[in-house]
Amino acid sequence: MKTFKVYKHPAQGFEAVKEGFSWPALCFGPLWLFVKKLWMFAVAWVVVSMILASIEGISDEVGMVSGRMMMVYSLVAGGYLALWFIPAFKGNSWRAKNLLKRGYMLIHTVQAKTPDSAVTQLVQSLSSASPQQAGHSTPSPAKVSHLL
């Protein structure tokens, strides 16, 4: 089971964000950033990628001494690795902060297998909440009607 934070927007509904590492961000990089509406990070990813490619191209044209060229290629390779792994490790937290900026409200943290099942589980628990459960972390029925 994975841990998801479930957010709700008054007009756009629910979004579930997994905590921790993001395999889709690692595999799809800038596409994942654009799809998740992380515009600033997506543009930065593309710009840094272009800068790294330019550095690599310039070092090829200059024909540096082999020792220096190896150092430049090592730094460029490290830059490319960071470019792919930083969004994988930080992407879900960036997404959570972005949802809050866009007007979403954190509702609850849920254990589930998928984002859809996390939302379904939360909606079902909010629908079945009763006043006798006041000691639990589930909101009262007055709050439930507001959240749904």
- What would the pLDDT profile of 66-77 be if each residue is shown by its tens digit? 777 888 889 999
Please state the domain extents for the chain: 2-147
CA distance 14 to 132: 26
CA distance 18 to 3: 6
Closest CA to 105 of 143, 54, 147, 63: 147
Instruction: Give the mean pLDDT per block of 10 residues along the chain (148 residues).
Output: 96 96 96 97 97 89 74 93 97 97 96 95 83 46 40
Closest CA to 47 of 33, 63, 27: 33
Under 8 Å between Cβ of 148 and 126: yes
Under 8 Å between Cβ of 29 and 138: no
Is the overall model pTM greater than 0.85, yes or no?
A: no
- pLDDT tens, 121-148? 999 988 886 544 444 444 433 333 344 4
